[in-house]
A and B are shown apart, each in its own frame.
Chain A
Amino acid sequence: MSVFKRVQNILPVILSIAFALLAWQLIVQVTQLPRFILPAPADVWTRFVKALMDGSLLYHTRITLAEIVLGLLSGIAFATVTGYMLAKSRSLEKILSPYLVASQAIPVVAIAPLLVIWLGDGILSKVVICALIVFFPVLVNTVVGVRAVPTALYDLMHSIRATRLQILLKLEVPASLPVLLGGLRIGATLSVIGAIVGELVDAEQGLGFLLQLGDFQYDTSMVFVAVFTLIALALSLYGVVTLLERKFLKWQK
């Protein structure tokens, strides 16, 4: 891609952000709301620089990121393994699906306090909440992806006497990857929500904690900084999935 093309792609994004900032500034000036209700962009920027310099922002971001990554990875691991078994066995699906569907009827917010009581207010409870919220979309996409592997390709693999492991690695994984990555895309965004929900229940650290702290102290600029950092995290995760898709789904276009 040429530099010109790149600029052309990014330009609308930059313009829209600039426009939003401008609108924000205008609202602040027109309404004259106190800073603890609606801080100006410049206030948030100052607060951001301060939190960056005193190390608190990086510290809390690292904690939340760790929860998200661990939760995401364990959620994906459990979901793909369970999903694969469900896709392969109709009877297992019949046994498990009532529980799976029921579990989806309960919002994670409702069980998050329970998990914090059971697992403590440390990082573990957040990782588990995060994994739970990621689990279902990845599971569903795994089942759909594995079920959609063409029978003709199973015939091919059996005709050259592929082992179970070879069928898994050379057929089922690559064939279901597009759908699986679709599930990951959803899961990645949800994982950020999971970690924050956990931290909001009870935590001594993390961006959710920072957010709540800002709230208690009427440090609204701090709340904004935390929210923007969360957005940045979610966008980066989304970007990672997009990179994976670019790398592994070249053949699709």
Chain B
Amino acid sequence: MTTRPILTVQDLSVVFPDSNGGLRALEDISFEVCPREFICFLGPSGSGKTTLLRAVANLLQPTTGRVHFIHHQHPKIGMVFQQASLMPWRSALDNIKLPLELEGLGESKARKKALEMIELVGLQGFEDSWPRDLSGGMAQRVGIARALIHDPDLLLLDEPFASLDALTRERMWTELSRIWQARQKTVIMVTHSINESLFLADRVLVLTQRPGKIKLDVEVDLPRPRKDDIRYTPHFGKLARKLREAIE
């Protein structure tokens, strides 16, 4: 791709203070993301995936290195957290609506958009449910809807489908591909599922065990749209094997 990267991460390291000299979570991470690119970070748990997303979202200050956005402009971000992170005092619909409220959109417009998102993630009939009455998977879908509703430029997804059952997960993969293609978003997703990363991403970056470093950067040149049965093709198998070897 020849377009200028929307995001450049340079020599990023994150050390968390602890009793014995600091816990090194990430070390010398450098990568670029082009507009409309879908990239996946793959790594074992504890490899600093969440920390990386938080640094990109400006939720934590890197110890060294920097996160640089094109034109120095912090883009509009939609983030899906590993735990759904819903507000328990808001109904499903009101949780989804939150970003629009913060932008100051009128109540009726916000509501209408939120109802569209409810439909998109297949939660019709649960608009008025409290988060405590939703299953893990349903809560996560509310979180996904909330991340998309304000039409962000950059989507940050932290293992968003880990708590879903296999069927819903695969449906959400298809949905996410569709949304990504229709809305032209840039996506950084974190996962520990090889299948998930190959099904969705343009590029997969593999992180090592702690401290997380980039071990492998693979272009996923599988044709789109990717259907379910793509995983039985020899090329998919070859890529999967490559990733698996890198993880171990």
Contacts and interface: CB of A to CB of B under 8 A. Distances in A.
Contacts of B132: 251
Q: Interface on chain B toward A: helix, strand, loop, or mixed SS?
A: loop
B102 A155 contact: no
B166 interface: no
A166 B103 CA distance: 10
A42 interface: no
Interface stretch (B81-89, B134-142, B196-204, B228-236): B81-89
Contact of A162 (B58, B74, B79, B102): B102
Given A155-B59, A161-B74, 12 more contacts: A150-B85, A152-B83, A155-B54, A155-B79, A158-B58, A159-B78, A159-B79, A160-B77, A160-B78, A160-B99, A162-B102, A175-B87
B67 interface: no
B81 A152 contact: yes
Interface of B: 54, 57-59, 74, 76-79, 81, 83, 85, 87-90, 98-99, 101-102, 130-132, 150, 156
Contacts of B74: 161
A153 B87 contact: yes
15 contacts: A152-B83, A153-B85, A155-B57, A155-B85, A158-B58, A158-B59, A160-B78, A160-B150, A161-B74, A166-B102, A170-B101, A171-B87, A175-B87, A251-B89, A251-B132
Contacts of A150: 85
B77 A159 contact: yes
Interface in A59-107: none
A174 interface: yes
A156 B150 contact: no
B88 A156 contact: no
Contacts, number: 55
A251 B85 contact: no
Nearest to B54: A155
Contact of A160 (B88, B89, B98, B130): B98
Nearest to A174: B89
Contacts of A161: 74, 76-77, 102
Contacts of B101: 170
Given A171-B87, A175-B89, A251-B89, A155 B98 contact: no
Q: Report which residue of B76, B83, B102, B130 has the largest number of chain A beta carbons within 10 angstroms of its beta carbon.
A: B102
Nearest to A156: B85
Interface of A: 150, 152-153, 155-156, 158-163, 166, 170-171, 174-175, 177, 249, 251-252
Given A171-B87, A175-B89, A251-B132, A160 B102 contact: yes
A166 B98 CA distance: 11
A64 B98 CA distance: 43
Q: Report which residue of A160, A161, A251 has the largest number of chain B beta carbons within 10 angstroms of its beta carbon.
A: A160
Contacts of B83: 152
Contact of B88 (A162, A166, A251): A251
Contacts of A175: 87, 89
A156 to B, nearest CB: 5
A132 B87 CA distance: 34
A150 B78 CA distance: 19
A155 B89 CA distance: 17
A196 to B, nearest CB: 36
A159 B59 contact: yes
Contacts of A156: 79, 81, 85
Nearest to B57: A159
A156 B99 CA distance: 10
A152 B87 CA distance: 10
Nearest to B50: A155
Contacts of B88: 251-252
Nearest to B58: A158
B81 A155 contact: yes
Nearest to B83: A152
A174 B94 CA distance: 13
Contacts of A152: 81, 83, 85
Contacts of A170: 98, 101-102
A139 to B, nearest CB: 23
B185 to A, nearest CB: 15
Contacts of B87: 153, 171, 174-175
